[in-house]
Structure 1
Amino acid sequence: MSYLRYLLNEELVEIYSEVRDFSRKLCTDIFEALILTILSQNTSSINMWRAFNELKRRIGCTPQDLYRARIKDIEDAIRIAGMYRIRSRKIKLLVKKIVEEYNGDLSFLKDMPLEKARALLLSLPGVGYKTADIILLFCFNKHVFPIDTHIFRISRRLGLIDQKDGYEVLRRKLEEIIKPENYKLVHLALIRHGRKICKPQNPLCEHCIFRNVCPYSMSSRK
């Protein structure tokens, strides 16, 4: 485990060193980050950004802009992302709660204890564990490690969790292994690794940094 901890905290980020610059460019506006998360589900990053930019161009992307907007106008703006009717309704439900209950401003979350801020985010329509944790980590620099499908796959292959274990089990496990100051970079690097090397099908185990500590990789070589 100590060698795996070293690989995750030190070597992985060096291999995917581009995440250092990328992490500085990530959206840190909490509301825009929430909208981007809704637009990102089951679509490409290219279409997500096209939809987001078109939404900003046509309507704007503040809680007040979208609260006043007609749902048909939101649908037309984000059509390129696909599932535009479902997404537009999610956006309207989210905006309604943020405007009517929090006056369109969630910046107060920055000063709340982590668990209370997390619980409030999870109470918002359409916000699940991953979205809440991404907001907390990247917008408010709180020490929580978000989990996505790539991180799940890599962790299961590494034997960190069982197949039946869910989000919270893995989050707590990785928060024990990864240094809090590395959460952002390791999160981004693991996603890169899942896309390039530890793919769902035909993973490139021979090129993997974890090949000598990974049960999945070692079993495939027998």
Structure 2
Amino acid sequence: MLNKTQIRFCLDKMGEMFPDAHCELNHSNPFELVIAVALSAQCTDVLVNKVTKDLFQKYKTPEDYLAVPLEELENDIRSIGLYRNKAKNIQKLCRLLLDEYHGEVPRDRDEMTKLPGVGRKTANVVVSVAFDIPAIAVDTHVERVSKRLGICRWKDSVLEVEKTLMNKVPKEEWSVTHHRMIFFGRYHCKAQSPQCGECPLLEVCREGKKRMKRKRDGK
């Protein structure tokens, strides 16, 4: 497991590599961000942005999503995986926003997770990006990078990864660290072909060292 100095080294290096890391889901308000993040489950941000380009022109408010038949909404997001389930959740979410929250997205993470289709990760993204509240959302990239580097244990659950990162990263850096780790995992430390040979974190990365040794040994 990495010590405090090594974690600081990793955070600084990722900051140098991706100083402008940010949420890549296009949105113009908290409500649109909730919809975009809900659509992004098991789907790329690039595809979500293609769909929301037209979707957010057609639907501006929770009322708009409820004003059409479910089949119409399904058709509007058909190119996204799990579109039937996501369309159903979006309409339920919009109904709850109107019934319980005056049509506004709640700023509290625990309240937000009461919305259909909104889990802890989604809520963390929204409070961090839309409301500037410190949070670390553990998606597939954050989890992979944390475990490969040795910040977290291989056996840690998503919630354990989140708690470990919250303990080991200064609170004022939670949100930017979340974005930098996503960029690092998405564009450098990829799932299938991580760029270990040219990685500035190789000297402290347990997984990278193993991979490079296997490569040298011809395995």
Range of TM-score over shorter length: 0.7 to 0.9
1:131 maps to what in 2? 122
Structure 1: runs of 5 or more not aligned: 110-116
| Count, aligned residues | 211
In 1, are the aligned partners of 2:109 and 2:127 still within 8 Å (CA)?
yes
2:4 maps to what in 1? 2
1:46 maps to what in 2? 46
Q: 1:152 aligns with which of 129, 143, 162?
A: 143
Structure 2: runs of 5 or more not aligned: 214-219
Offset at residue 72 of structure 1 (A): 2.0
Return the letter of the residue paired with 1:103. Answer: H
Q: What is the DSSP-based 3-state SS (H/G/I as helix, E as strand, rest coil) of the residue aligned with 2:153? A: coil
Report Cα offsets for 1:167-186 as digits up to 9, x if no partner: 22111211222222322322
Q: 1:201 aligns with which of 192, 205, 216?
A: 192
Structure with the largest fraction of helix: 1
Offset at residue 130 of structure 1 (A): 0.6
Offset at residue 24 of structure 1 (A): 10
Return the letter of the residue paired with 2:145. Answer: I
1:70 maps to what in 2? 69
Report Cα offsets for 1:87-115 as digits up to 9, x if no partner: 211111111111112221135x2xxxxxx
1:179 aligns with 2:178: no
Offset at residue 165 of structure 1 (A): 1.3
1:192 aligns with 2:177: no
| Alpha-carbon distance in structure 1 between the residues aligned to 2:181 and 2:9 | 11
Scaled by the length of structure 1, what TM-score is found? 0.85
1:87 maps to what in 2? 86
Q: Assess, with a 3 A threshold, how the Cα gap between structure 1 residues 126 and 76 changes in structure 2: closer, same or farther.
A: same
Identity %: 27
| Alpha-carbon distance in structure 2 between the residues aligned to 1:23 and 1:153 | 18
2:35 maps to what in 1? 35
In 1, are the aligned partners of 2:121 and 2:138 still within 8 Å (CA)?
yes
